[in-house]
């Protein structure tokens, strides 16, 4: 365990099964959705009218033209499905990085080795990022070759790459929050529950601020405001939005480095 990177490799190895199944699930869902498009686009006009018939529906699904490949993928993949997948998986990884090992009673055995707690945080956080990046990459490597096959010729690879990156960044942001709660408490269940509740609250704020004018000044509190679901595949993200998502991840990691070395670990 003294070898540099040993904790990273062991943690990543422990995640290999979940990484495989989450990647397979992501691929299967995207493939299924894309396979529907050639038939769906012929009747997309009626659905566009339905989606744009009220501001409540627009707040939930956006305003994209579902008859285009970009509009269809935006609403069916990038608006909810892909970020939700990455957020749930990120929370699971972050909460389990330290919380699961402490819950099982194996963390004291790890710390009995001549390694610093800071190294544990560094390598476990790096393993979380690597696993999350693998699943996020599935979004790009699935859509890129299949878009021409399913008549989505308007999909630009550069914008697809940045949209896939944004799903990774929002997943990493929530994963970093879960990682911090797990590092601070050693309680995996608490990390999952608290971060999931926070994510749900942020999503509701993102939707409701489009419907209730009095909530608009608080929209900056939702990470979905920086992900911008309705435009993530049509426009390149602003530097400020990317910086906020990265900043949340850096803050979660940095605070973990502060709190984990200073608390008692359950035997």
Predicted local distance difference test score (pLDDT) of residue 52: 60
CA distance 12 to 258: 23
Distance, in Å, from the CA atom of 75 to the CA atom of 112, rounded to the nearest integer, reads 50
- The pLDDT score that the predictor gives to residue 109 is 78
Euclidean distance between CA atoms 103 and 13, whole angstroms: 19
pLDDT in tens, 38-63: 887 776 665 656 566 555 555 555 55
For residue 113, what pLDDT is reported?
81
The secondary structure of 66-111 as a DSSP string is TTSHHHHHIIIIITTHHHHHHHHHHHHHHHHHHHHHHHHT-HHHHH
Q: For residue range 133-168, what is the model confidence (pLDDT) as tens digits?
A: 999 999 999 999 999 999 898 999 999 999 999 999
What is the full per-residue pLDDT of the chain (267 aa) written as tens digits? 556 688 899 889 888 999 999 999 999 999 999 998 888 777 666 565 656 655 555 555 555 677 888 988 998 899 889 999 999 999 999 999 988 877 777 787 787 788 888 999 999 999 999 999 999 999 999 999 999 999 898 999 999 999 999 999 999 999 999 999 999 998 899 999 999 999 999 999 988 888 888 888 998 999 999 998 878 888 899 999 999 999 999 999 999 999 998 887 765
Residue count (the chain): 267
**How far is C-alpha 45 from the geometric centre of its chain's CA atoms?**
31
Look over the chain and give the mean of its residue pLDDT values, rounded to a whole number: 88
Structure tokens that stand for 181 in this block? 């709660």
Give the helix/strand (H/E) hosting 3.
none
Catalogue the E-assigned strands of the chain.
none
Predicted pLDDT of residue 61: 58
User: Are 139 and 159 a contacting pair, CB within 8 Å?
Assistant: no
Model pTM score: 0.91
Q: What is the pLDDT of residue 56?
A: 55
């Amino acid at each position: 365990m003294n070898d540099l990177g040993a904790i990273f490799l062991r943690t990543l190895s422990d995640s290999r099964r979940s990484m495989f199944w989450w990647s397979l699930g992501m691929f299967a869902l995207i493939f299924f959705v894309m396979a529907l498009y050639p038939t769906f686009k012929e009747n997309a006009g009626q659905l566009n009218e339905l989606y744009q018939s009220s501001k409540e529906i627009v707040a939930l699904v956006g305003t994209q033209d579902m008859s285009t490949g970009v509009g269809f993928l935006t609403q069916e993949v990038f608006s909810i499905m892909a970020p939700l997948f990455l957020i749930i998986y990120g929370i699971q990884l972050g909460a389990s990085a330290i919380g699961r090992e402490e819950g099982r009673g194996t963390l004291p055995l790890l710390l009995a080795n001549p390694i610093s707690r800071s190294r544990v945080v560094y390598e476990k956080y790096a393993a979380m990022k690597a696993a999350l990046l693998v699943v996020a990459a599935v979004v790009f490597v699935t859509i890129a070759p299949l878009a021409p096959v399913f008549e989505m010729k308007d999909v630009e690879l550069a914008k697809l790459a940045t949209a896939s990156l944004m799903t990774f960044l929002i997943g990493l942001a929530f994963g970093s929050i879960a990682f911090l709660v797990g590092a601070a408490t050693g309680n995996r269940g608490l990390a999952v529950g608290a971060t999931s509740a926070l994510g749900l609250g942020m999503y509701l704020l993102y939707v409701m601020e489009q419907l209730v004018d009095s909530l608009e000044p608080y929209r900056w509190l939702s990470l979905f405001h920086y992900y911008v679901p309705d435009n993530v595949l049509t426009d390149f993200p602003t530097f400020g939005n990317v910086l906020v998502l990265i900043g949340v991840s850096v803050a979660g990691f940095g605070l973990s480095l502060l709190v984990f070395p200073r608390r008692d670990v359950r035997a």
